[in-house]
Copies of this chain bind each other. A is one copy, B any other.
Amino acid sequence: LGQTPPEPPFERIAILGLGVMGGSLARALAALERRPYVTGWSPDETERTAALAAGAVSAAPSEWRASLQDAELVVLAAPLRASCDLLAEVVPAAPGSATLSDVASLKAPLARVAERAGALDRWVGAHPMAGSEESGFAASRADLYRGARVWITAHGDAKERVARVQMLWHALGAEPVAIEAEEHDRLVAVASHLPQLAANALALVLEREGVEPAQLGPGGRDMTRLAGSSPEIWRDLLEHASPVLVAGLRELSAEAARVADLLERKSIDALVELMRSTRTWRKS
């Protein structure tokens, strides 16, 4: 007697945005044994055609409203500002019973839009800690979310919907964890946006010093991979950047200067101690 796979929590899903995030979600859903009916939309016709050709979506109408028909779940997978704009329009356009979600990496701006649109009981935000420095459907992959932490943010009124959204991410092999929107955005500013800008700052220095990417070892490559991230995706996130991120950058600046001082003074024991403490943290 084999185990029956669980009912998919949503049978009809619309994904608005078919880049790395939306495209990977569509591919992952298409790979499920009990595959939901997924419609996809992108403002870019080539992305819609690519998603259809890859079998990631069953339909990809050119007008986003058409993709919402009978949807039980609508996922906004656009850059932050476009997701906010779309959410305001999707609330009245989607079936009244549909759960509304997104995959943006800041949650408070979307929570505010959901509140203004009177849809806090329908919105369940999600932020998968996964992505790529590449962009577009071509960079999407079915296993992008496997093993990834997915932060889930919702108002108390959306409780039953939260359970279903979590179930969906579980089915894709991800690890959903509930968190409050403001707390999420503070955490992500430090855990995700600060490393991104640190990579940009480091890359600027390496370029100025005449280092070519081909001269980097695996460490240098890892430390600059994010320097290749899409500036367009980041534009919106930077516009919503919190003071926490600014403070983190100033701390990083101070730490880099302190390490330079220690090195100049040949305070090797202090540097070794510093490396010991970061090693302990990193392996914890």
Contact = CB atoms under 8 A, between A and B. Distances in A.
A93 interface: no
A266 interface: yes
Contacts of A241: 263
Interface string A225-247: 11111111011001101001110
Interface string A38-70: 000000000000000000000000000000000
A282 B224 contact: yes
Interface string A179-199: 000000001001110111111
Interface residues of A, number: 84
Contacts of A239: 266, 268
B253 A249 contact: no
What's the dominant secondary structure at chain A's contact region?
helix
Contact of A219 (B202, B226, B238): B226
Interface string A197-218: 1111111111111011111111
A92 interface: no
Nearest to A283: B228
Contact of A213 (B192, B249, B271, B281): B281
A220 interface: yes
A274 interface: yes
Given A149-B214, A214-B149, A251 B208 contact: yes
Contacts of A218: 129-131, 148
A82 interface: no
Contacts of A178: none
A97 interface: no
Contact of A223 (B226, B231, B256): B226
A234 to B, nearest CB: 6
A238 to B, nearest CB: 5
B249 A215 contact: no
A32 interface: no
Contacts of A229: 219, 275, 279
A202 to B, nearest CB: 5
Given A252-B256, A256-B201, A275-B231, A195 B208 contact: no
Contacts of A273: 231
A274 B211 CA distance: 17
A284 B252 contact: no
A260 interface: yes
Interface of A: 129-131, 148-149, 187, 190-192, 194-209, 211-220, 222-232, 234-235, 238-239, 241, 244-246, 248-260, 263-264, 266, 268, 271-279, 281-284
